[in-house]
Amino acid sequence: MGDQMANVTPMMAQYLEIKAAHPDAMLFYRMGDFYEMFFDDAVAAAEALDIALTKRGKHDDQDIPMCGVPVHAAEGYLLTLIRKGFRVAVCEQMESPAEAKKRGYKAVVKRDVVRLVTPGTLTEDSLLDARRHNFLAAFAEVRDESALAWVDISTGAFHVMPCAVIRMAPELARLTPKEVLLIDESPYRNTVEDGGAAVTELGKSAFDSTLGEKRLCDLYNVSSLDAFGSFTRAQVSAMAAVVEYLEITQKGNLPLLRPPVIEGEAANMQIDAATRKSLELTHAMGGGRAGSLLATIDQTVTAAGARLLERRLASPSRLLDTILARQEAVSYFAENSRLRDDMRDTLRGVHDIDRALSRLALDRAGPRDMTAIRNTLVQAEQIATLLPSDLPPFLSDSTRALIGHDELLDLLDHALVAEPPLLARDGGFIAPGYDGELDECRTLRDEGRSVIAAMQAEYAELAGVQSLKIKHNNVLGYFIETTATHAEKMMAPPLNETFIHRQTTANQIRFTTVKLSEIETKILNAGGRALEIEKQLFDSLRRTIVQKAGPIGVLARALAEFDVAAGLAHLAVTENWVCPTVDNSRAFDISGGRHPVVEQSLKKSGEPFVANDCALTDSNIWLLTGPNMAGKSTFLRQNALIAVLAQMGAWVPARAARIGLVSQIFSRVGASDDLARGRSTFMVEMVETAAILNQADDRALVILDEIGRGTATYDGLSIAWATLEHLHDVNRCRALFATHYHEMCQLADKLGGVNNATVSVKEWEGDVIFLHEVKRGTADRSYGVQVARLAGLPAAVVERAKVVLEALEKGEREGGTTQKALIDDLPLFASMAAAPAPAKVAEPSKVETRLNDVFPDDLTPKEALALLYELKELAR
């Protein structure tokens, strides 16, 4: 490095030194109004950001690649880089060029990295999705224990839970963190990356539980973590890794983290990654939000409410008291429509104060973050006045958080203007009358001319010289000028005590005064001084707000609770949903259940959704048969979704519902190749089925569709048969099992907990009509050939398939083999009916010939009637 440094400029030497300290990050090196990148960083950034690549100087006789982005637009470029997998080290100027020159003419401006920007450490609104959390997680193992901790530094939420290795992937699927911290050379890197999160590996010291406990105690300024709960060594290790990483990325400026909350594995319904994907809970199959259950039910009007709704949907509760309390809140708003509408209208004025507070704590905030808190405090007071005294306990607890902020509200109301600028450096956000010195500076800055004019009138009267003027030039600055004829008077007592002589010319004499010199200094410095005062006031207000972080955080959570409850009530009322009965039984009785996403989609096209019942109380397994396209998969999924909605505390799309607590939901509906791991569709299907059979307990709800279809017929049938028996005899769970293997319907006679059900269809003139009705009984056949025809297979193929099907069914009925007969007697190509020759074109009839000469628009009513009689004669 020494030889390298000898051949480079001082600035480039500084760059290389800082870059060497952050080799894994792209370095945004501040140079005036730009962040510049050099060498490999520049080449990568130019490609990723689609910006011009230039060069600056030479290094080792090679041109130095260079590119840059404007500081004022840097956030947009940061977002692009983060989404493309880069980490960015932001290097700022720690002093002004003028300050650097005081150390020497060629002194380099001091620079240092103030922040590492990574996927899990974003705080700016422009870099975040307002309606989703942005979690940073850490997984730790200590001896035989393991734990998962996660934090959203944009809101301060901090959680930890025991997490067995086998539960790691499902929990990451639930949380969808953007970045996961693992110990160096962790064996779980692929598991995390398969879930879509970025992986950051840290050294063993970051996960040291003993050092970590001290790190956490220092963070919260406590002598012991016992006040927050009883943590295992693995949990402390995971939390410590999170805090260590935040210290690294935030350069010691830690975000405002709430005390850690311990989550129990038994508190939430367990849903694995494959099931979440299959049910499209928070993301549709295509990866976006549109088409998911979340998008369908989200009626929230605030960002915090939307995030809380997603957390509830991703983590349905298994605690009956919690579910019933949430239901009660939704029911209250459902029954009080006027209050619900007023609540939602007022909540629309609420801002995302969680994220505003986090930015204020990290000193990345602007004036609008302060006004967001002020305006939200006003809305909270309005909401408090709306609420009656008979609220259910779940809501009344939240009501108390809405009030008690008068002191902070008064301060912000007096200090801030109604509509401040985006950036504190622009000034203009402190209200007039809040600070006397600031008002004086602004007056001088904005009304300097009028201040000088007032002084001119004052001095003219004092001197008795009406022609006295106050002027300005670049040499003297402000000065008082009179004609030479008044010189003697102006320089004689008592005026010479006020007016100080400065210059005499041929025709004029010039003076100044102590007061004029002071005003001149103030006017010249007023703009800069006003900005300086506002910055000081901003810092003071920021510290005051951060000191109130606890009550503000409680208020934010209360507003989110109201938003979710009112939004779910609005959904229930407008979509005709019902409040389900949730209890500790093993019941599962749905009357008139509907698929919420499909129903909403059909509404847009004006088609009705066919509702269906599902009863798994007396017989805990339904074996469902029926053709493709008849709605089996929709029926399976809708019942799983109803269970999820019920246990998140929402109402459900049905006429009535009773659901005994569901501990786990497993869904294996559809499968695809996993080529990256070398797995076929059938292998993926078997892996997912194995997970279900190995993990499902007697309180689970399992939905399985077409098990065994990816292999040979008898192999598939035998696997499906054995799977159903295992679910019935060993897992003893509630299940919906759809199949095309009609032979399995015999199991209903053998297994007491299995009932047959089918999706109804009708045949009409060779066509199959799907009724989408689920009823008890079995399907007589699969109607696969008819569905193939509907899909557009060539008519010759469809007809051939019918012939082959009839031969196979006949052979099965007669107990014989049909394969050789099909090959010998019905070879697929040799005996396929040749395409019919084109029919001979018939000569046109007399009627057709006459009609070709007719132009209807030219006919009068009388002529048209006459033509009709004529055509009738020609047709005879």
Residue 625 maps to which CATH number?
3.40.50.300
CATH number for 518: 1.10.1420.10
Q: Do 384 and 342 belong to one domain? A: yes
> What pLDDT sits at residue 829?
45
Identify the pLDDT of residue 679: 62
Cα distance between residue 204 and residue 596, in whole Å = 48
CA dist list (Å): 103 to 96, 107, 110, 791: 12, 6, 11, 80
- Domain boundary residue, one of 225, 245, 267: 267
Report the percent of the chain where pLDDT is more than 90: 59
Q: Are residues 738 and 809 in the same domain?
A: no
Q: Per the domain annotation, does 672 fall within a domain?
A: yes
- 208 with 345, same domain? no
- Domain total in the chain: 7
Same domain as 629, residue 562:
no
In a shared domain, residues 810 and 685: no
628 is in an annotated binding site: yes
- 233 in the same domain as 203: yes
Residue 71 lies in a domain: yes
In a domain, 606, yes or no: yes
pLDDT of the residue at 2: 45
E-assigned strand segments in 143-221: 145-152, 157-162, 179-183, 198-202
State in Å, rounded, how far the first CA of the chain is from the last one. 107
Q: Residue 865 is part of which domain span?
A: 846-875
- State yes or no: 633 annotated in a binding site: yes
DSSP state of 486: G
**Are 326 and 445 contained in the same domain?**
no
**Is there a domain that residue 203 lies in?**
yes
pLDDT per residue as tens digits for the range 483-497: 988 888 888 889 888
Question: Are 45 and 62 found together in one domain?
Answer: yes
* Domain CATH number, residue 201: 3.30.420.110
Cα separation of 678 and 675, whole Å?
Answer: 5
If asked whether residues 342 and 328 sit together in one domain, one would say yes
Q: Using alpha carbons, list the distances in angstroms from residue 737 to 587, 609, 636.
A: 18, 22, 8
Phi first, then psi: give them for residue 655, nearest 5 degrees. Answer: -80, -35
Position 811 in a domain: yes
One domain, residues 82 and 137: no
718 labeled binding residue: no
Task: Name residues of the chain where pLDDT drops below 70.
Answer: 1-7, 628-630, 670-679, 710, 712, 763-770, 779-792, 795, 798, 801-802, 804-806, 808-842, 876
- pLDDT for position 833: 47
Residue 687 has a pLDDT of: 83
User: Is position 859 within any domain?
Assistant: yes
HSE of 116, CA atoms in CB hemisphere, 13 A:
21
pLDDT at 433: 94
- Is residue 289 situated within a structural domain? no
Q: What's the CA gap between 539 and 551, in Å, rounded?
A: 20
Q: What are phi and psi of 756, to 5 degrees?
A: -90, 140
Contacts 24+ apart (CB under 8 A), 163-171: 163/139, 163/265, 165/141, 167/265, 167/270, 168/139, 169/194, 169/195, 169/272, 169/273, 170/270, 170/271, 170/272, 170/273
pLDDT of residue 525: 81
Beta strands 111-117 and 88-93 are antiparallel
Which class for 792: exposed (0-12), middle (13-18), buried (19 or more C-beta within 10 A)? exposed
> Binding site annotation covers 626?
yes
* 73 in a structural domain: yes
Residue 480 forms beta bridges with which residues? 470, 511
pLDDT at 827: 47
Nearest CA-CA partner of 564 in 294, 338, 376: 294
Last residue of a domain, one of 788, 804, 834: 788
What pLDDT is attached to residue 783?
62
Domain boundary among 483, 510, 537: 537
If asked whether residues 653 and 784 sit together in one domain, one would say: yes
Q: What is the amino acid identity at position 547?
A: Q
Bin 296: left if φ > 0, else alpha if -120 < ψ < 50, else beta: alpha
Q: Is 629 annotated as a binding residue?
A: yes
The pTM (predicted TM-score) of the whole model is: 0.83
CATH number at residue 90: 3.40.1170.10
Structure tokens at 618: 């007396």
Are residues 739 and 666 located together in one domain of the fold? yes
